[in-house]
Structure 1
Amino acid sequence: MGRCFLWRIRTFVVAILIELFLIEGNALVKKEDIESSLKSIHDVAIASLGDLCVTKQFNSLTVPLNTLRFESTRQKADLAATLLQDLGVAHHNGLQDAISKNLIIADKSVLSARILAINASTGSLVSCAWWQKQGLDIGGPKKVLDTGMEVGNRPNTEYPWYEDADSSPGVRSPKFVESPPNVAYKGWWTFPYYSCLSRKWLISYSVPIPPPGRRG
């Protein structure tokens, strides 16, 4: 019963965030997108997931949230991306792990941080540094070893926070929210999505990092 109550609270919070975004006057949000998103939230809240977690790991909404409250988080991610580009990921062992881990330590709103090195010619994964916050912050962030991604293969585009550059020029795809025209973002926010593995509603910020010496 307590769990059901918590789910209702989470559902209410997500719905309120959607309402707040709309109040700020985004005329591009369609009524059917709002209704579809609220239905998805309701289905998760009452555990009526159907085949959601059987056929796929994530369920993304089609209505964006107001990310202003996460602006400092976005700035940290952009700064980390600039540092990685300037130093060069391939030439600094341990740099990916250090930055991923510290992004979590430096910002309590960050639950997970990932840095993927992709072969620009083949699109295959070269390396992956994936760190995650532990429950109740016991022992600090922990490196995720079983990421579900294999070196030498292309990462699965089912991840809400990842897009294949070959299939989406500039890594800009419909799974990412359009950035404000008056703010210089290096990356993009995702739409809110439900993770079947973590059983949480999440939102991610993804930054494509060009090779050293080339500005994206």
Structure 2
Amino acid sequence: MSDTLVVGKHLGRDFQRGVVALRDVNCRIASDARIAVVGPSGSGKTTLLHILGGLDKPTSGTVEWPGLGPFEELRPRHIGLVFQTPSLFPALTVAQNVGLPLVLAGDPASAGAAAAALLDLFGLGELRDKLPEELSGGQSQRIAMARALVMRPKLILADEPTGQLDSITAQFFFDTVMEQLEGTGIALVVATHDEAVAARMATRWTMDHGRLVSEWPRQDAA
């Protein structure tokens, strides 16, 4: 399956004090996938994204990245991450935060222009010289998505990227994201409570008490 980017088999994740975040989850992400991960708070959505992105290790089961290469090169080169909590570096300006993945990947010469272009696309160009402490939560979310896009990775994992946006801003923001991904082959997996976002994704994973209880349309996760 050459188009398979990530495969999770029988994933389980236990934390201290008997908290079970994931239970026997099987899933697959293909190139160009559009996946919404839905379910109530505490159902395991964030934990699943962290494991698929290589930020956390499962307690049981395995995760592999056949279409992304060695684990050491996953981030920021091949996986872009958007966290639910603030993740911008406080000492860097907005433009520097967005361009940081290119700097880390050894291409600092492209960072400034690429960051400026994405900030303009998202209507955030006037914020380029501000520090994260000067931003609203919604602005920080959009800037984090621009940072995830700047490397043109093969996969973007986004956790509640519209959670702090009003409906009109969220629609414009997500329209821009989808337009940027069109025809690129980049896969997008979004954990969300926003039904308007989930409805635009081709595939829906429904989580409940750590289990992937339904997947529509059904895919072969093995």
Question: TM-score, normalization: structure 1?
Answer: 0.29
Look at both structures and tell me which one has the larger radius of gyration over its CA atoms. Answer: 1
Structure that is richer in strand per residue: 2
- TM-score, scaled to structure 2: 0.29
Q: Which has the higher contact order (CA 8 A, sep 6+)?
A: 2
